[in-house]
Amino acid sequence: MKLFLLLSAVGFCWAQYTPHTKPGRTSLVHLFEWHWADIALECEQYLAPNGFGGVQISPPNENVVINNPSRPWWERYQPVSYKLCTRSGNEDEFKDMVTRCNNVGVRIYVDAVINHMSGSGVGAGTNSTCRSYFNPGSRDFPAVPYSGWDFNDGKCKTGTGEIENYNDPYQVRDCRLVSLLDLALEKDYVRSKIAEYLNHLIDTGVAGFRIDASKHMWPGDMKAVLDKLHNLNTSWFPEGSKAFIYQEVIDLGGEPIKSSEYFGNGRVTEFKYGVKLGTVLRKWSGEKMAYLKNWGEGWGFMPSDKALVFVDNHDNQRGHGAGGASILTFWDSRLYKMGVGFMLAHPYGFTRVMSSFHWPRHFENGKDVNDWIGPPNDGGVIKRVTINPDTTCGNGWVCEHRWRQIRNMVAFRNVVDGEAFTNWWDNGSNQVAFGRGNKGFIVFNNDDWPLSVTLQTGLPAGTYCDVISGDKSGGNCAGIKIYVSSDSKANFSISNSAEDPFIAIHAESKL
């Protein structure tokens, strides 16, 4: 009885922190702006066979069609209704994606935009992805329906109705974020409409939510919404499973609103992670990889079991959100692969891999003036993701998750899941190495001179294939071979001019 109570208490309390990925699958990939039909195919053809746990999708609900500028990616952060009808597909296509991904054990996580509706200055009409009428001026969104009573205009105390001061938590929660009409989440009616939307998604089979702009909602209001949610669909999830929740809270320190206020609701995005890792790999501010020895809580990050971590996201890869120059992206591919490799090898946090589209980046006075550009499209219609003979993507899709180095590190993380952080080595500079129990070992050389060293790996004796420089297929290795002796030691040599100056070996890359 006592044990039962303990187990059910643990199950209940920890549920929303658990991603419900299939056992042995430990990462998400954000397929930013992909069409649902392409995500369904990607689940079946690539993500399941390569051990990806799930997909974060772009917001699936109806949004404003912005024509000036032409169809920016951020129009999807301006809801018009909760109809599943966007440039990524309609409700049938959405259901087909969720079903097919779940059937191959890949989970779907929805980017839930529930803090606000459209911008206040958008003209009334039916310029929305499903042609629903809306009138931001009169706060009328009949397709939900929401009316003037359902927004925070009366509650916000600034003259402009906008957030003017981030040091005032009331403004940040009750006023408009960049003109977006702020929903009155203290009202049970609003909470119920949002919960109805999220429950529709849960019933369809989604496993959880990224909650957009969580910092701009009171944690208690969010909890009231989350308390209304159904358990996950038992066609794919154990009875009693709660949706995985990760909240977008940008807390780099120095503001009154803290990530920790949101821990009761679920996990929280740890924005310090990418900012700091980028600073270290770029060797800015006197940082070096040797300092990564106590990476994680030791760097002032939130507790690992509350953290959702990433090297870059769709905002800060283009200077939005907590964008800083230090953020590593596919534009700096050499450092980026090292950064993602480090993240996936290190035990801290639940990891999300970014998968982007190309845009014509153009800097004026240090700012990318093309930071608004939306996904590859033909006259507004999102282009399909084509796959090249070498397994990379075409049509303007970057597909970082298909880069060998990143795909193989997703597998590395699965293999070392649950193993301790062990056998740290560094040269006091930017040459570092660490193991994960007796399952995996990784070595980096981010110094300006070669590395040549004998290290204790913790691995059983044998010949291992480095999964960064090549793939193991059958008994063959297309990359560097590493010999581990019976005392678990191995010699590593990494040129500082190598395209990928890191080596990773694990139990399943043993030849």
Q: Which residue has the tokens 């003017």?
A: 164
44 a catalytic residue: no
Quick one: tokens of 107? Answer: 């989970």
Residue 75 backbone dihedrals phi, psi, to 5 degrees: -65, -25
What is the 3-state composition of the chain as percent helix, strand, coil, each rounded to the nearest 5? 30, 25, 45
Binding site for ligand NAG (CB under 6 A): 67, 99, 123, 125, 127, 203, 205, 233, 235, 427-429, 431, 447, 451, 453-454, 483, 485, 489-491
User: Shortest Cβ distance from residue 20 to ligand NAG (Å)?
Assistant: 14
User: Shortest Cβ distance from residue 283 to ligand NAG (Å)?
Assistant: 12
| CA 246 – CA 256 distance, rounded (Å) | 20
The residue (of 133 and 331) whose beta carbon lies closer to ligand NAG is 133
The residue (of 235 and 386) whose beta carbon lies closer to ligand NAG is 235
User: Shortest Cβ distance from residue 439 to ligand NAG (Å)?
Assistant: 19
Torsion from C-alpha of 28, 201, 218, 258, nearest 10 degrees: 0
User: Shortest Cβ distance from residue 123 to ligand NAG (Å)?
Assistant: 3
From 248, 251, 371, 500, active-site residue: 248
- Between CA 103 and CA 108, with CA 107 as vertex, the angle to 5 degrees is 115
User: Shortest Cβ distance from residue 447 to ligand NAG (Å)?
Assistant: 6
From 111, 174, 212, 371, active-site residue: 212
User: Shortest Cβ distance from residue 437 to ligand NAG (Å)?
Assistant: 19
| CA 200 – CA 330 distance, rounded (Å) | 35
| CA 493 – CA 478 distance, rounded (Å) | 17
Query: Exposed/middle/buried for 284, CB within 10 Å: 0-12, 13-18, 19+?
Result: exposed
93 a catalytic residue: no
Instruction: Output the CA–CA distances (angstroms, integers) from residue 100 to 36, 55, 93, 202, 431, in the order listed.
Output: 11, 12, 10, 15, 43
The residue (of 53 and 119) whose beta carbon lies closer to ligand NAG is 119
Radius of gyration from C-alpha coordinates of the chain: 23
Output the 3-class SS for 280-336: HHCCCCCCCHHHHHHCCHHHCCCCHHHEEECCCCCCHHHCCCCCCCCCCCHHHHHHH
Quick one: tokens of 386? Answer: 């084509």
- Which residues have C-beta within 8 Å of that of residue 456, sequence separation ≥ 6? 423, 425, 487, 488, 489
Quick one: tokens of 220? Answer: 């208690």
Tell me which DSSP letter residue 257 carries.
Answer: -
The residue (of 99 and 132) whose beta carbon lies closer to ligand NAG is 99
The residue (of 205 and 323) whose beta carbon lies closer to ligand NAG is 205
- Between CA 420 and CA 429, with CA 426 as vertex, the angle to 5 degrees is 140
The residue (of 196 and 203) whose beta carbon lies closer to ligand NAG is 203
User: Shortest Cβ distance from residue 496 to ligand NAG (Å)?
Assistant: 10
The residue (of 296 and 374) whose beta carbon lies closer to ligand NAG is 374
For the annotated catalytic residues, the residue numbers are 212, 248
